[in-house]
Structure 1
Amino acid sequence: MCFLGCDEEETEVGRQQARGSCPYCGGKVHAVDVGSKLRLCFLPICFRFKRKYFCTLCSKRLVLYDY
């Protein structure tokens, strides 16, 4: 749901090599820390930090399952 004047901006905060390898091609995995800012009419409402995992060879986004 998005209102008029709503905007979300993502910026890369940091990048580091993660443990393991890509299950598709066997390449190295990078963990990317992303900070997102949700704004409504230029007023910041919410700040979030997420960690995303990407393969360096095939550029696929990888999902980490926690058991």
Structure 2
Amino acid sequence: MCLLFICDEEERVLGTQTAPGFCPYCGGVVQAMDVESQWTFCFLPLSFKTKRRYFCTICARRLVVYP
């Protein structure tokens, strides 16, 4: 008997906007993206999470914001 677990994470961009500040690496404009991620198990949705991610528009680095 063989068990096969199929798990998948889908991400969907909800919206983008310009964030205040500049990239510390290249000085480019920072863009904020709202991303919704959905975990599925055998095509059944398990959880939804909405996160805000920050990216530089010039060097395309993902930036981390510390409170």
TM superposition score normalised by structure 2: 0.92
Structure 2 partner of 1:40? 41
Q: Which runs of 5+ in 2 are unaligned?
A: none
Larger-gyration structure (1/2) = 2
Q: Which runs of 5+ in 1 are unaligned?
A: none
What's the Cα RMSD here?
A: 1.0
| Identical columns (%) | 56
Count of residues in correspondence between the two structures = 64
Runs of 4+, deviation exceeding 2 Å = none
